[in-house]
Amino acid sequence: MKYMLLIGGAEDGWDYLSEADQGALYAQIGAWWGEHEASGEIIEGHQLQSASTATTVRRDPAGAVTITDGPFVEGKEMVGGYGILEVPDLDAAIRLASSWPGPDVLEIRPVVVREE
């Protein structure tokens, strides 16, 4: 079954770490990602740039489009990356997410697959 793993947290969530500690944590996350990608559990994913680089496009019911700089949600926690998981079930997705080495918030959502 496919799940989307949303990886989020505060934009400044790693600021308390020294540069060396941030580098070490990135290395741990890279190793974790590589292990699960090699096993076929992660089939795609990327880190996202800062929410400050976002552009939001809104369409109202009348069809008018408004474009604004910044994320579409105002909040302290932002999505910083994602992964598409291919695992047998939600329990497997939870086990995988529970082993994430970073101090982040992970959200798991089933992917809707439409039959053609």
Q: What is the pLDDT of residue 12?
A: 73
Q: Looking at per-residue confidence, does 2 or 54 come out higher?
A: 2
81 confidence band (pLDDT: 50, 70, 90): very high
Alpha helices in the chain (DSSP H): 19-38, 90-98
C-alpha 83/C-alpha 31 separation (Å) is: 15
Q: What is the mean predicted confidence (pLDDT) over 48-52?
A: 87
Q: Which residues of 12-30 are buried (b: 16+ CB within 10 A; e: fewer)?
A: ebbeeeeeeeeeeeeeebe
CATH topology for 2-110? Answer: Alpha-Beta Plaits (3.30.70)
Q: Name the band, by pLDDT with cuts 50, 70 and 90, for residue 103.
A: confident
* pTM metric for this prediction: 0.84
